[in-house]
């Protein structure tokens, strides 16, 4: 089985759509808008076959209609949010998974940013939408801290070498926030140097990996003694620490 090619496409101000292709199969994950996706396809001589949506927000589905019309592509999204995914053809859930050609794709249901949010797990890569970000996580628009805490834990159970492709380029700001909680984390300091170098050159900071997030993302580091000390929550439950970090980030 050939390896899937994955390529980020910058959309809007800080969104990423992704091309996932192999042979005659080509999917786009979370197309905010059609034009940059069509340009990326044209440059590579690819024809779109599938549109995958991690959640219903317009900055992840805004390109669905135009791209479906232009390519007769099949729209795949969360079955539980079928009513809010424009032009959906196939609803997927965690129990059933989904098949992309010869590739079995695991679906993880990761509610909290939205109730119906899902992540697509391909061979060695996960598309996390606005649930897990590089050094951050999404806002709790339709869920509780406990829901997001559980959703992030589900993602952290993937192998450490799984590549993480998220919905936005928020890495620099997320990293600055992370440093307020864990200034002594060497992995975090080193990662921020890499991130600054990449952004100066205009390069994307995706993909990350599950292992790198475990070492540098405060939202999955509720066990960190330094973060606990900074928050003065040495003996708190993990979910309460998560809630406090999310609350602080909302006004960072």
User: Which residues are known catalytic residues?
Assistant: 55, 57, 59-60, 113, 130, 168
* List 57, 68, 80, 221, residue binding Zn ion (CB under 5 A): 57
Query: How far is the C-alpha of 37 from the C-alpha of 34, rounded, in Å?
Result: 5
Q: Which does residue 213 bind out of Zn ion, Fe ion, none, counting CB within 5 to 8 angstroms by kind?
A: none
Which of the stretches 56-64, 101-109, 205-213, 215-223 binds Zn ion when contact is defined by CB under 5 A?
56-64
CA angle 120-58-111, nearest 5°? 45
- Segment holding 30, helix H or strand E: none
Which of the stretches 3-11, 30-38, 52-60, 207-215 binds Zn ion when contact is defined by CB under 5 A?
52-60
136 vs 221 by CB, closer to Fe ion: 136
Q: How far is the CB of 180 from Fe ion (least distance, A)?
A: 23
* List 18, 37, 59, 117, residue binding Fe ion (CB under 5 A): 59
Contact between 33 and Fe ion by CB under 5 A: the answer reads no
Contact between 130 and Zn ion by CB under 5 A: the answer reads yes
Q: Where are the alpha helices (DSSP H) in 47-202?
A: 58-61, 64-71, 145-156, 171-181, 186-200
Query: How far is the C-alpha of 49 from the C-alpha of 175, rounded, in Å?
Result: 36
Under 8 Å between Cβ of 94 and 65? no
129 vs 227 by CB, closer to Zn ion: 129
Q: In 3D, which of 37, 12, 15 has the Cα closest to residue 26?
A: 37
CB atoms within 10 A of CB 84: 17
* List 79, 130, 213, 244, residue binding Fe ion (CB under 5 A): 130
Hey, CA dihedral for 111, 117, 121, 125, is it positive or negative? negative
Q: How far is the CB of 184 from Fe ion (least distance, A)?
A: 31
Copy the structure tokens of residue 223: 């066990």
Q: How far is the CB of 141 from Zn ion (least distance, A)?
A: 7
Kindly state the DSSP code that residue 251 receives in the 8-state scheme.
T
Under 8 Å between Cβ of 159 and 118? no
Q: How many residues bind Zn ion (CB under 5 A)?
A: 2
Count of residues making up the chain: 252
41 vs 76 by CB, closer to Zn ion: 76
Which of the stretches 13-21, 33-41, 49-57, 150-158 binds Zn ion when contact is defined by CB under 5 A?
49-57
Hey, CA dihedral for 59, 64, 70, 73, is it positive or negative? positive
Q: How far is the CB of 56 from Fe ion (least distance, A)?
A: 10
SS3 at position 89:
coil
Q: How far is the CB of 23 from Fe ion (least distance, A)?
A: 30
User: Which residues between 165 and 194 bind Fe ion (CB under 5 A)?
Assistant: 167
User: Which residues between 202 and 231 bind Zn ion (CB under 5 A)?
Assistant: none
59 vs 182 by CB, closer to Fe ion: 59
| Contacts with Fe ion, residue ranges (CB under 5 A) | 59, 130, 167
The contact set with Zn ion (CB under 5 A) reads 57, 130
């Amino acid at each position: 089985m050939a390896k899937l090619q994955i390529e980020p496409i910058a959309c809007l101000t800080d969104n990423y759509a992704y091309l996932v292709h192999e042979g005659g199969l080509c999917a786009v994950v979370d197309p905010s808008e059609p034009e940059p996706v069509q340009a990326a396809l044209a440059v590579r001589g690819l024809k779109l076959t599938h549109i995958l949506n991690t959640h219903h927000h317009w900055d992840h589905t805004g390109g669905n209609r135009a791209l479906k019309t232009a390519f007769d592509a099949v729209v795949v999204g969360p079955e539980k949010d079928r009513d809010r995914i424009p032009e959906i053809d196939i609803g997927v859930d965690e129990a059933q998974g989904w098949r992309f050609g010869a590739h079995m794709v695991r679906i993880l249901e990761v509610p909290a940013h939205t109730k119906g949010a899902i992540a697509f797990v391909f061979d060695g890569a996960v598309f996390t939408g606005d649930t897990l970000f590089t050094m951050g996580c999404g806002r709790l628009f339709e869920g509780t801290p406990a829901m997001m805490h559980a959703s992030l834990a589900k993602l952290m159970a993937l192998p450490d070498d799984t590549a993480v492709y998220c919905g936005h380029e928020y890495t620099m700001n997320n990293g600055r926030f992370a440093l307020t909680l864990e200034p002594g984390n060497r992995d975090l300091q080193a990662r921020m140097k890499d991130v600054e170098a990449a952004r100066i050159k205009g390069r994307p900071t995706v993909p990350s990996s599950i292992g790198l997030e475990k070492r540098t993302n405060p939202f999955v580091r509720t066990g960190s003694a330094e973060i606990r000390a900074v928050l003065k929550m040495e003996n708190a439950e993990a979910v309460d620490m998560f809630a406090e970090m999310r609350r602080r980030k909302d006004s960072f």
